[in-house]
Amino acid sequence: MGKPFLSLFFSNNSAGVEILISSLLNMLFPEKCPNCDKPAGGFWIAPFCENCWKDIMPYKGPLCDRCGKPLSSEIAHICHECLKKEPFFVRARSFALYKGTMAEAINLFKYSGIRRLGRPLGRFFNYMALPQVDAIIPVPLHIRRLLHRGFNQSLILSKVIAKNSGRPVLINVLSRIRDTVPQVSLKAHERRKNVRGAFTATSAVKGKNLLLVDDVMTTGATTEECSRVLKKAGAKGVYVLTLARAYEL
């Protein structure tokens, strides 16, 4: 292996370094797909195989016009929750349901530190109709959780969207000021109470249409609270995009 070849990877090319290291490790310790036990695919989608990755499909069933919640009937256009209380965001949409390879990929990306999955996951947003916005805002993590995890998965996804759309990512204009209990362990009403007052926004959002980005939307408590705070700070409108919707039809 000559010097010119090595220079392709180590001359200010962190992605090349990751690919080289991953390839060497895969030769020594071959990865197997967690879904079907077949050999892993290329670097960016590993440990998943090509076939399982292709199983990630967009949700095309009936959904609420406002919050994007999947509905069991095509007759209704607004869910009960949105009829009862209009959300602070204009519209929320998710690419897929939180199940199968999508759920597994998000969990490995988010909790196992496989950051490379952020790029192919973020590319699913390219297949969605993006609203006309002035800027993109990732749902923030509290500093304690950020230090523990080492990265904000929503920021990584936001950067992928920004690269495709040309819209800037605004960092530190929306902050999580209170470290809350993980939402996954709570019921719907507990989630809303848990995030109440957990965020704050600066006046930098005043008059702007914003795209709020997160990985998963379940009850919508977090995105609703973020939208409320952004609107209170003067945002003109807030749109929400997430990779997946944690809801079973």
What's the whole-model pTM score? 0.86
Tell me if 15 is assigned to some domain.
Answer: no
What kind and span of H or E run contains 217?
A: strand 209-217
Give the count of domains, the chain. 1
Which stretch of 8-17, 26-35, 79-88 has the lowest confidence by average pLDDT?
A: 8-17
Check which CATH number belongs to the domain holding 119 and give it: 3.40.50
- Predicted confidence at residue 24, as pLDDT, reads 61
- Predicted confidence at residue 14, as pLDDT, reads 56
Q: Are 61 and 70 a contacting pair, CB within 8 Å?
A: yes
Alpha-carbon dihedral angle through residues 21, 26, 28, 29, given to the nearest 10 degrees = 120
How would residue 140 be classed by pLDDT, with cut points 50, 70 and 90?
A: very high
Q: What are phi and psi of 127, to 5 degrees?
A: -90, 5
Tell me if 20 is assigned to some domain.
Answer: no
Mean predicted confidence (pLDDT) in 7-27: 53
pLDDT for 59 beyond 80: yes
pLDDT for 3 beyond 50: no
Tell me if 1 is assigned to some domain.
Answer: no
How would residue 172 be classed by pLDDT, with cut points 50, 70 and 90?
A: very high
Tell me if 11 is assigned to some domain.
Answer: no
Place of tokens 């995105």: 223
Tell me if 50 is assigned to some domain.
Answer: no
Q: Which of 159, 215, 219, 212 is nearest to 195 (CA)?
A: 219
pLDDT for 246 beyond 60: yes
How would residue 33 be classed by pLDDT, with cut points 50, 70 and 90?
A: very high
Which stretch of 9-18, 27-36, 57-66, 221-230 has the lowest confidence by average pLDDT?
A: 9-18
At 75-108, the pLDDT tens digits run 889 999 999 999 999 999 999 999 999 999 999 9
What b/e string do you get for 222-245 counting C-beta neighbours within 10 Å, with b at 16 or more?
A: bbbbbbbbbbebebebbbbbbbbb
Per the model's pLDDT, the better-predicted residue between 140 and 198 turns out to be 140
**114 residue type, one letter:** I
pLDDT for 11 beyond 60: no
Tell me if 51 is assigned to some domain.
Answer: no
**Cα–Cα distance measured from residue 85 to residue 78, given in angstroms and rounded to the nearest whole number:** 11
Residue percentage of the chain with pLDDT more than 90 = 71
Which stretch of 17-21, 169-173, 227-231 has the lowest confidence by average pLDDT?
A: 17-21
Q: Are 133 and 162 a contacting pair, CB within 8 Å?
A: no
Tell me if 24 is assigned to some domain.
Answer: no
Q: Are 66 and 101 a contacting pair, CB within 8 Å?
A: no
**Cα–Cα distance measured from residue 150 to residue 181, given in angstroms and rounded to the nearest whole number:** 18
Q: What angle do CA 114, 187, 202 make, to 5 degrees?
A: 65
Tell me if 16 is assigned to some domain.
Answer: no
Pair of tokens at residue 64: 């609420």
**Cα–Cα distance measured from residue 177 to residue 195, given in angstroms and rounded to the nearest whole number:** 10
- Predicted confidence at residue 190, as pLDDT, reads 72
Q: Name the average pLDDT for the chain.
A: 87
Domain span at 214? 57-245
Alpha-carbon dihedral angle through residues 62, 65, 70, 72, given to the nearest 10 degrees = -50
